[in-house]
Amino acid sequence: MKKTVAIIGSSGAIGNAVSDNLINDESIGIIYKFSRSMSVKENERVKNIFLDIEDEESIKSSLDHVPSDTKFDLVFVATGILHNDKEIFPEKSIKDIDIDKLKKVILVNTIGPTLIGKYFIPYLRKDEKSVFAFLSARVGSISENKLGGWYSYRASKTALNQIIKNFSIEIKRTNKNAIFVGLQPGTVKSFLSKPFERNVKEDNLFTPEYSAEKLLQVINDLSPDDSGKFFAWNGEEIQP
Ligand SMILES: NC(=O)c1ccc[n+]([C@@H]2O[C@H](COP(=O)([O-])OP(=O)(O)OC[C@H]3O[C@@H](n4cnc5c(N)ncnc54)[C@H](OP(=O)(O)O)[C@@H]3O)[C@@H](O)[C@H]2O)c1
């Protein structure tokens, strides 16, 4: 049977590259691309569905556009915010902390993906391996935090990692084949990383296509024992 995939945040650099990679995979039947921007052309294998991750009703109603008997083999959550080219930028110090910016970053990076879990988990395949993968970030690891700063982004990803662990514990009771993981994509050329790319050595700045290929390899190699964990693009496990 061909596989069914949902990509949330398919307009982003990594989400789009994951989708492009999977389109060339003959084991994949349909790819549902959930996004605020609907510019991508549809065909019988690719469907675009509007979803605003900041709006619970939008997340819930997006699934009205998917057949009710759909079973996802893979749900890949690729949404996220670090800056918005305007007022939101990672905090360098305590004095940069601002309630509205904190709320926005946590809404997009933690609350939105949590609600994606709430509505999409019932659509996960149960009879075979299924994977629910969330793009997280290494800076969300508390044990690896040596530099400080980036209060809202770090905290939003740390909290996301906790939510992923919680999903894994609860769903293990009803779906032993489901695997929930956080993924660190590497430093990838995108709108999100643009202001910071000059701090990264050229060899360490990945194309979205390379990152997508590596992340899909990690997903392929996962087993149910990996559920609740956090992995880098090269398969290395990152400690919380
Ligand atoms: N790039 C890196 O170096 C890097 C490193 C570590 C972790 N990550 C993580 O990887 C993920 C993807 O990053 P990226 O580099 O691909 O960034 P990107 O190109 O900026 O993509 C971000 C995506 O998030 C979506 N998004 C933001 N707010 C949304 C909302 N309210 N509703 C629906 N979609 C929304 C954007 O959609 P719109 O087009 O509609 O705005 C876009 O599709 C993020 O979670 C990021 O934290 C990236």
Region 46-60: what's the mean pLDDT? Answer: 97
- The pLDDT of residue 43 is 86
Q: Among 162, 124, 125, which Cα is nearest to 140's?
A: 162
Q: pLDDT grade, residue 207 (50/70/90)?
A: very high
Residue 152 · residue 101 · CB < 8 Å:
yes
Residue whose CB lies within 8 A of the most ligand 1 atoms, among 35, 62, 79, for a mutation test: 79
Region 185-193: what's the mean pLDDT? Answer: 97
CATH classification number, 3-232, choose in 2.60.40.650, 3.30.70.3270, 3.40.605.10, 3.40.50.720: 3.40.50.720
Q: Give Rg (Cα) of the chain.
A: 17
- Give the start-to-end residue ranges of the domains of the chain: 3-232
Residue 189 Cα: closest atom of ligand 1: 1
Tell me how far apart the alpha carbons of residues 218 and 5 are, in angstroms, rounded to a whole number. Answer: 16
CB of 16 closer than 6 angstroms to any ligand 1 atom: no
pLDDT surpasses 90 at 41: no
Closest-CA residue, ligand 1 atom 26, reads 79
CB of 116 closer than 6 angstroms to any ligand 1 atom: no
